[in-house]
Structure 1
Amino acid sequence: MGIDCSGVVEASRDEVFGWFGRPGAFRRLAPPWQPVEVESEAESLADGRAVLRLPGGLRWVARHESEAYDPPRRFVDRIAVDGAASAPIGKLLPWRHIHEFEVVDDRHTRVIDRVDTPIPAAALRSMFDYRYRQLADDLAAHARAAASGFGPATIAVTGASGLVGSALTAFLTTGGHTVIRLVRHTPTTVDERQWDPHNPAAGLLDGVDAVVHLAGASIAGRFTAEHKHVIAESRIGPTRALAECAAAAGVSSFVSASAIGYYGADRGDEILDETASRGEGFLADTVAAWEAAGDTSGVRVVLVRTGIVQSPRGGTLRLLRPLFAAGLGGRLGAGRQWQPWIGIDDLVDIYHRALWDTDLCGPVNAVAPQPVRNSEYARTLARVLHRPALLPVPKFGPALILGGEGVEELALASQRVVPAGLTAAGHRFRDEDLESALRHVLGRTRDNR
C-alpha cells in the first residue's frame, strides 16, 4: 500500500532542497481541495514538526526524523502523537514519508516521494500530481524573476492572512524573500508589525523594499448603505495613508489590490483592456477612488485589477463547489454574462511580477486570457466534477442574499476583461483556459478522477 512516485523539475538539487527548507513550502504544497489547513510548519527539515488542522478539531502532526536527514539528498517525516487532538489519527493511521532528491543534470532534479501507509496509491495520486506541478511552476516563476535581477527583498504585506495574501506570502518566503506582515493586532511573531490603517506609524516601513496592499472588507453581502460604507471606508483612506507612508519611507514599489469592478456592471461584449473607460455604479466609483488613493509620487505604483479568483479555499468557487458536486449547479439567469476569471496561483504570479518587473506601472488586469460566459463556466465546472449542470439559478436566488443592487453589481455583472498589459509584457500564465485551472485546484487532473 502507499505510494512511490516522482517528478522532474527544472532546477538544481541544491535549489530544490533549499526551497523545501524555507517557510511557506508546506503551505504551497497543501492541496486546496482537501479539508485541511496548515497550522504550523516545521522550523527544520532535520528535526522539526509540522501540524495540520483537520475537521472535527483533529490534528495531523508530522515529525521529521533527524537520523534520516541527509541534505540535499533526503529528509523524512512520520505521523506522530502530540496531544489529545492528534491521538486518533496518530495512533490509527501509519504514515512515513521519505522525500528524496536525485540529480538528473545540472539544471534538473528528480523529486521522489515514497510513503508507507495503508492509504492506497489511487487516493494519493492527485495530491502528488498537484505537488509536483506547484513545485515546478513556483521554481520557474522565481527563476524568471532572478533572471531579471530581482534578488532577495523585504516586502511588507497587508491582508496576509486572506485567500490571496496567504498564498502570496508563502510563495515569497519560499523564494528567499522576507515578508513583513502588517497586522492590526499586537504582533505575536517577529515577522509582524502593528499597522493602524488610518494612521500608520512613521517607522512602519523601515527597512522595507516594497509594499503589497491587499487589505479591505469583503465585498460579498447585501448592498445596504452600511455595507457600502464599510467597503469604501476600508479601502480608500487606508490605501492613501499607506501609500503616503511608503513614499516617505522610500520603498521602490507600491502594489495595491484593485478590481475589475472599475469597468462597471455591464459592458456587453465590449473588450475591456487597461485603457477602457471607467464604468458606472457603486463599485466602479469605489474602485476609481481606491486606485486614486494609491497614486503617490516618487514610488512605482501597480494597481492589480483582479477578476474572479478560482480557489476552493475561498471566493465563488468555495460556494459553488458543493452545489455542483451535489448536481445542483447551473448557469445564473440566462448565463450570457462574461466572467473574467483568474487562477489563484496565476494571481500570485501577477503580484510577484508587479514586484520585479519595473516596466509594469498603473492598472494591470489580473485576469486569464480567455474570459468565459457564465453558462460556459457552469458547464466547465460541472464537467470537471463529473456532474450535470441542468438547473439554472433564477435571479431571485442570489437577490435574497445580495439584494437588487448587489445582484447587478456582482452576481450578474458582465465584463469581458482581457490582460492586455500582461500579454504585451510576454507574461506566462500557468493556466490560460478555465478547465485546466479548475482541474488543478480541484485535484481532477486525471481522467479517472
Structure 2
Amino acid sequence: MQILITGSSGLIGSALMHKLSEEHECQGLKRTDSEISQPDWNISTKNINLQGFEADIIIHLAGENIAAKRWSEKQKKEIYDSRIQSTRLLVEHILSLSHRPQLVISASAIGYYGNRGDQTLTEDDAPGEDFVSRISIDWEYETRPLHTAGIRVVNIRSGLVLSQRGGALKKMLLPFKLGLGGRVGTGQQFYSWISIDDVVGAIEHIISTPQLQGPVNLTAPEPVRNITFTKQLAQALNRPAFFPMPAFAARLAFGEMADELLLASTRVLPGKLLNSGYTFKHKTLPQALEAVLHS
C-alpha cells in the first residue's frame, strides 16, 4: 500500500515512517520550504502537490508543538490554526482526488476530555471545555466531510507518549537524572500515557482492523497518578524524586499551560483498542519505562 504521512519528521511520524516503510511505500508530506520538498504542501497558500503519489492511506499528524512555548494569545492561535487549517486543507484536497484514500488517520489528543478528576473515560465520554478540548473538538470536526464521503476516518486521541527521542519524557529526563525530579502539584492527577512502540503498534492495528473508525484512544490500559509516574521514572533511572513542584510554581513557570497539561487529571482507557483485540506491548508503566529508557 501507499501511505502518505504529514508531520513525518515529528516524534510519532518519524517512528511510523521507519516501521511502516518495512512493508509499505511511505512518503512524508513536507512543507514547501523544507529541504526535501516532494510531495509538499503550503498551508498559507492552500497548496498541496503530491507529485502523482496516490495514497491508499493518509496519516495526518501535522501541528505546532503544543508545549514548545509558553501560551501567549499569539501562540495559542498558532497551535489552533496549525491543526485546524492544515486538516481543512487536507480534507478539501482529498475530496478533490479521483483516487481517494480508503483510510485517513487524523491526530487528536486526550485533551479532548479536559480535566476530569478521577472519572474513568472512554471514547464515548463527552468533551471538556478548556482550550485543548476546544482544539481537539474542532480538529476532529474538520474530518467529518471525509466520513460523509464514505472514507474510513479514525481520530487518534493520543496520551502522553513515552520516548527518549522527544515529547514530555525527553524534557523530564535531565532533571530526573540529576535527582531534581518530583511530583507536580498534589501529584493526585492522572496521567494517561503510552509507549512510542504501542503508538506505532496501535496505528498498525487500526490499519488492519476495518471496524475501527471515529475516535480511538491511544493510551495504555493502566493510567497512573502523577506521584506514581514520577516515582517510577525516578526508580527506572536509579535516582531519588525529592523535589516536588507546587502548583503555584508550575503556574509561574508555564502559565495557563500548567493547568491544562501538568495539573489536569485525565484518566483515559483505550476502550476501542482493547475491544478490537489489540495486545499492548507495554501494559504497565515500569514495563514501558524499561523499554523506552534502555532500548
**Scaled by the length of structure 1, what TM-score is found?**
0.62
User: What is the aligned partner in structure 1 of residue 160 from structure 2?
Assistant: 308
Superposed displacement of residue 195, structure 1: 1.2
Task: Map 1:174-193; keep pairs closer than 5 Å.
Answer: 174=22, 176-185=23-32, 192-193=38-39
CA deviation profile, 1:346-370 (whole Å, cap 9, x unmatched): 0011222222211110000000000
Secondary structure of 2:111 counterpart: helix
Superposed displacement of residue 205, structure 1: 6.7
Unaligned runs of 5+ in 2: none
Unaligned runs of 5+ in 1: 1-152, 445-449
Q: 1:202 to 1:441 in 2, by over 3 A?
A: closer
Question: Aligned partners of 2:270, 2:9: CA distance in 1, in Å?
Answer: 26
Greater share of strand residues, 1 or 2? 1
Question: Aligned partners of 2:34, 2:234: CA distance in 1, in Å?
Answer: 43
Structure 2 counterpart of 1:225, from 73, 95, 117: 73
CA deviation profile, 1:423-443 (whole Å, cap 9, x unmatched): 100101110000010011111
User: What is the aligned partner in structure 1 of residue 9 from structure 2?
Assistant: 161
Question: Aligned partners of 2:155, 2:47: CA distance in 1, in Å?
Answer: 21
Q: Check if 1:253 corresponds to 2:67.
A: no
CA deviation profile, 1:70-102 (whole Å, cap 9, x unmatched): xxxxxxxxxxxxxxxxxxxxxxxxxxxxxxxxx
Question: Aligned partners of 1:429, 1:436: CA distance in 2, in Å?
Answer: 11
Retained in 2: the 8 A contact 1:184–1:195?
yes
Secondary structure of 1:437 counterpart: helix
Retained in 1: the 8 A contact 2:30–2:36?
no
Retained in 1: the 8 A contact 2:39–2:50?
no
Question: Aligned partners of 2:95, 2:238: CA distance in 1, in Å?
Answer: 51
Q: 1:413 to 1:252 in 2, by over 3 A?
A: same
Superposed displacement of residue 203, structure 1: 5.3
Retained in 2: the 8 A contact 1:200–1:242?
no
User: What is the aligned partner in structure 2 of residue 411 from structure 1?
Assistant: 262
Retained in 2: the 8 A contact 1:340–1:417?
yes
Amino acid at match of 2:88: R
Secondary structure of 1:392 counterpart: coil
Amino acid at match of 1:212: I
CA deviation profile, 1:213-234 (whole Å, cap 9, x unmatched): 0100011132211011001100
Retained in 1: the 8 A contact 2:184–2:250?
no
Superposed displacement of residue 196, structure 1: 2.1
User: What is the aligned partner in structure 2 of residue 276 from structure 1?
Assistant: 125
Question: Aligned partners of 2:267, 2:122: CA distance in 1, in Å?
Answer: 9
Amino acid at match of 2:113: Y
Tell me how many residue pairs correspond in the alignment. 288
Q: Check if 1:435 corresponds to 2:286.
A: yes
Retained in 2: the 8 A contact 1:367–1:417?
yes
Q: Check if 1:355 corresponds to 2:171.
A: no
Q: Check if 1:207 corresponds to 2:54.
A: yes
Q: 1:168 to 1:439 in 2, by over 3 A?
A: same
Q: 1:238 to 1:341 in 2, by over 3 A?
A: same
Q: 1:281 to 1:187 in 2, by over 3 A?
A: closer
Identity of aligned residues (%): 41
Task: Map 1:264-413; keep pairs closer than 5 Å.
Answer: 264=114, 266-295=115-144, 296=146, 297=148, 298-403=150-255, 405-413=256-264
Secondary structure of 1:277 counterpart: coil
**Scaled by the length of structure 2, what TM-score is found?**
0.93
CA deviation profile, 1:134-163 (whole Å, cap 9, x unmatched): xxxxxxxxxxxxxxxxxxx10000111111
Question: Aligned partners of 1:205, 1:364: CA distance in 2, in Å?
Answer: 31
Question: Aligned partners of 2:279, 2:101: CA distance in 1, in Å?
Answer: 27
Larger radius of gyration: 1
Secondary structure of 2:281 counterpart: coil
Q: 1:154 to 1:187 in 2, by over 3 A?
A: farther
CA deviation profile, 1:55-83 (whole Å, cap 9, x unmatched): xxxxxxxxxxxxxxxxxxxxxxxxxxxxx
Question: Aligned partners of 1:275, 1:332: CA distance in 2, in Å?
Answer: 29
CA deviation profile, 1:23-67 (whole Å, cap 9, x unmatched): xxxxxxxxxxxxxxxxxxxxxxxxxxxxxxxxxxxxxxxxxxxxx
Superposed displacement of residue 200, structure 1: 3.5
Question: Aligned partners of 1:232, 1:159: CA distance in 2, in Å?
Answer: 15
Superposed displacement of residue 202, structure 1: 6.8
Secondary structure of 2:241 counterpart: coil
